[in-house]
């Protein structure tokens, strides 16, 4: 038998659209469905560390609030005026009588609400390297926190400032080679679904 001739027939020509077999290990396996998106939109390490620190501060804040509530024995002194709270409660015409404890509970709840919103706003101010809490920080805290969605219409964001800041951030990110989601997407998770109320 002639060594230059083979007994096997020549391979068939490739067919358009037919799958092609590649040797194992020739290409890396495809990433998991969410892995690429997480890699593409991953915040820089400094921002991620800052967000983790803010989350830890909020966790410590709520733990301290819980301890303070458990240890409270003095219900006579309040940071917010009970008469004003009672007046707001009586603004609802269906409310006829208010127990003495109700304004006390509302005063404490309002205080905790203001403190948490301040903590979240302060975290936004620190992200922007400022030491002054501004209306835009509170608006950003409201926009980032799903629980505060009921305040979105009450505390509107300053669109002109936000557009300038977003453009500056996008330019800086593009210069650094960091991909960013399109404008208008949620700040915390660009791939998460968010609810837009009907108008």
Q: Which of 38, 84, 70 is nearest to 190 (CA)?
A: 38
CA distance 114 to 97: 26
Angle between helices 101-127 and 45-71 (to 10 degrees): 160
Q: What digits encode the pLDDT tens for the residues 52-105? A: 887 888 888 888 888 887 887 777 778 899 999 999 999 999 999 999 989 998
Query: Does a structural domain hold residue 79?
Result: yes
User: Considering the domain boundaries, does residue 9 fall inside one?
Assistant: no
Q: What is the mean pLDDT of residues 132-145?
A: 92
In a domain, 102, yes or no: yes
Quote the domain boundaries for residue 88.
Answer: 48-171
More confident residue, 159 or 122: 122
Cα 187 from Cα 137, distance rounded (Å): 13
User: How far lies 84's CA from each of 88, 95, 102, 103, 154, in Å?
Assistant: 6, 15, 13, 9, 20
What whole-number distance in Å separates Cα of residue 17 and Cα of residue 178?
A: 36
In a domain, 180, yes or no: no
Residue 189 maps to a domain = no
71 in any annotated domain: yes
pLDDT higher than threshold 70 for residue 30: no
Q: Is residue 123 part of a domain?
A: yes
- In the prediction, which pLDDT does 194 show? 47
CATH of the domain at 62: 1.10.20.10
Give the span between the Cα atoms of 103 and 81, in whole angstroms: 9
Number of structural domains in the chain: 1
| Structural domain includes residue 108 | yes
């Amino acid at each position: 038998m002639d060594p230059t001739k083979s007994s096997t027939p020549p391979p068939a020509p490739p067919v358009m659209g037919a799958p092609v077999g590649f040797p194992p290990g020739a290409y890396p396996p495809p990433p998991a469905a969410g892995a690429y998106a997480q890699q593409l939109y991953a915040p820089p390490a400094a921002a991620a560390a800052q967000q983790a620190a803010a989350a830890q501060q909020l966790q410590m804040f709520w733990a301290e609030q819980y301890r303070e509530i458990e240890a409270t024995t003095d219900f006579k002194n309040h940071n917010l005026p009970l008469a004003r709270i009672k007046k707001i409660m009586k603004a609802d015409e269906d409310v006829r009588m208010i127990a003495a404890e109700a304004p006390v509970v509302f005063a404490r709840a309002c205080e905790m609400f203001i403190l948490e919103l301040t903590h979240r706003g302060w975290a936004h101010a620190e992200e922007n390297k400022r030491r002054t809490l501004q209306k835009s920080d509170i608006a950003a805290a409201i926009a980032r926190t799903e629980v505060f969605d009921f305040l979105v219409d009450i505390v509107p964001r300053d669109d002109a400032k936000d557009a300038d800041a977003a453009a500056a951030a996008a330019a800086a990110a593009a210069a650094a080679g960091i991909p960013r989601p399109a404008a208008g997407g949620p700040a915390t998770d660009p791939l998460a679904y968010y609810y837009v109320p009907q108008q």
